[in-house]
Amino acid sequence: ACQSAGRSNSKVMENLEKAKQYDLLHQQNNRSRCVKNTTGAQELAAGYTIGKRRLEIFSITTSILLNIVVYIQLAHYWRMSYLPIAILNIVLGMLGADFLSGLVHWGADSWGNVEIPVIGKAFIRPFREHHVDPTAITRHDIIETNGDNCLTTLFPLGVMAVTLHFFPSDIIQTLYPFYIFGVSLMLFVTLTNQIHKWSHTYYGLPAWVELLQDLHIILPKKHHRIHHVAPHETYFCITTGWLNYPLEKLGFWTTVEAIIERLTGIKPRVDDLKWATK
């Protein structure tokens, strides 16, 4: 256990050192909004289709409508006595979103490939593009940035909207803390990729966004740079980044990867490396 912790600390320190060098190039790329002309970057960018765009528009529109319905219903049942437990559940929702962002990010970075039917081009492709061209995300508009995340919230938001409408008021009052956790979780899941985009945007951010980054309420730029040191094997959580250090200390991702590799014989990040060398 001590050796594992030592290796983990050494890896983090090594990545921090490499991240300083990466930052200089990243800032230059971001300032010029340069588009990488590698074969891999161009091929991955071309994988963004009209069908995908339409799905994203549907997801964002539906998510907004469902959020409005849920928030109106929650406001109807609000009591000031809920405030302490509401604050706690909002924070727990942020932690939950941070962990889920890490889990999805780790899964898409480490496993699968762009050729997998349906999910390959739709969901794994953006992760490959991001490592080949990290500044590409800063050129994505609000729809391309947030569409996928909105899609993942539709079912939970739908369940909340239906139960808030049909459940008796006494049951809703009992479940109210769970609803607060749910809306917090869904809100920060929705915002995760926007927050991620801000962590790659070095110029022109609103002052309030930079303040939230400086306070580490959302993912800070310097914190996220650690992930972008090849081979992109650490600091996967990209909502707040709060869980990155404890998960790294625990060796969480490397342990899960070792188990999967032992059971399946498949090594992590093989496809990611393939695109990086195109």
For the residues 125-139, what does the mean pLDDT come to? 89
pLDDT at 2 over 50: no
pLDDT at 6 over 90: no
**pLDDT over 70 for what percent of the chain?**
83
pLDDT at 31 over 90: no
> To the nearest whole number, what is the mean pLDDT of the chain?
88
| Length reported for the chain | 278
| Residue-wise pLDDT tens digits, 74-117 | 999 999 999 999 999 999 999 999 999 999 999 999 999 988 98
Can you tell me the distance from the alpha carbon of 205 to that of 89, in angstroms, rounded to the nearest whole number? 29
For the residues 143-172, what does the mean pLDDT come to? 97
The answer to which of 7-21, 107-121, 123-137, 224-238 has the lowest mean pLDDT is 7-21
**What pLDDT score was predicted for residue 229?**
87
pLDDT at 30 over 60: no
CA distances from 271 to 110, 163, 227, 235 (A): 8, 42, 17, 19
104-111 LR contacts (CB < 8 Å, sep 24+): 105/236, 105/237, 105/238, 106/236, 106/253, 109/232, 109/236, 109/269, 109/272, 110/233, 110/257, 110/268, 110/269, 110/272, 111/260, 111/266, 111/268
Q: Which of 119, 149, 120, 135 is nearest to 56 (CA)?
A: 149
Max avg pLDDT among 19-23, 42-46, 240-244: 240-244
**What pLDDT score was predicted for residue 48?**
81
Phi/psi-derived region of residue 182, left when phi > 0, alpha when psi is between -120 and 50, beta in every other case: alpha
pLDDT at 7 over 60: no
**pLDDT over 90 for what percent of the chain?**
68
